[in-house]
Amino acid sequence: MPREDTHFEPGRSGNPAGRPKGSRNRSTLALEAIFEGESEKLSRRAIEMALNGDGPAMKLCLDRLLAPRRDRSVTFDLPPIDTAADLPKATEALLRAVVNGDITPSEAADIGKAVSAHIEAITAADLHRRLSEIEDARR
């Protein structure tokens, strides 16, 4: 249901230029100005507190030391998958990569999902081709 209380067209921004890329929030800039020159002292103090057993300070330090895990590019030999018959070779390669420590089990699961989607696409294309052949034969 279209809104009648606005003069903007649906799907169009009232500010198409928007906020410039890379521009920073005023409050972030203000905090940076306040902490200018103090970051080393604050970091040292947080580390001292963590070393003295302060749990929240430990968490803060560890959170900064250990960045959150992000997806990484995975490289290993995956044989071509041209038909559903090629699937066992692909899953064997995935299992071998996990056993060898080249990829983690969760990475193998993610790759397995992509392989399954690829097989579904191959199967759908094959069914379409076969159905077309049957329809052509009946004409």
Same domain, 61 and 88: no
Q: Determine, yes or no, domain membership for 2.
A: no
What is the pLDDT at residue 5?
A: 64
Same domain, yes or no: 89 and 130: yes
* Same domain for 93 and 60: no
Handedness of CA 56, 59, 65, 71 (dihedral sign): negative
- Domain membership of residue 19 (yes or no) is no
Predicted local distance difference test score (pLDDT) of residue 124: 94
Q: Which domain holds residue 124?
A: 84-138
Residue 5, domain member (yes or no): no
pLDDT of residue 3: 54
53 shares its domain with 91 = no
One domain for residues 90 and 49: no
Residue 108's Cβ-count burial label (10 Å; 0-12, 13-18, 19+) is: buried
> Which residues in the chain come in under a pLDDT of 50?
none
For the chain, the three-class secondary structure string (H helix, E strand, C coil) is: CCCCCCCCCCCCCCCCCCCCCCCCCHHHHHHHHHHCCCHHHHHHHHHHHHHCCCHHHHHHHHHHHCCCCCCCCCCCCCCCCCCHHHHHHHHHHHHHHHHCCCCCHHHHHHHHHHHHHHHHHHHHHHHHHHHHHHHHHHC
Stated pTM of the model: 0.49
Q: Count the domains in the chain.
A: 2
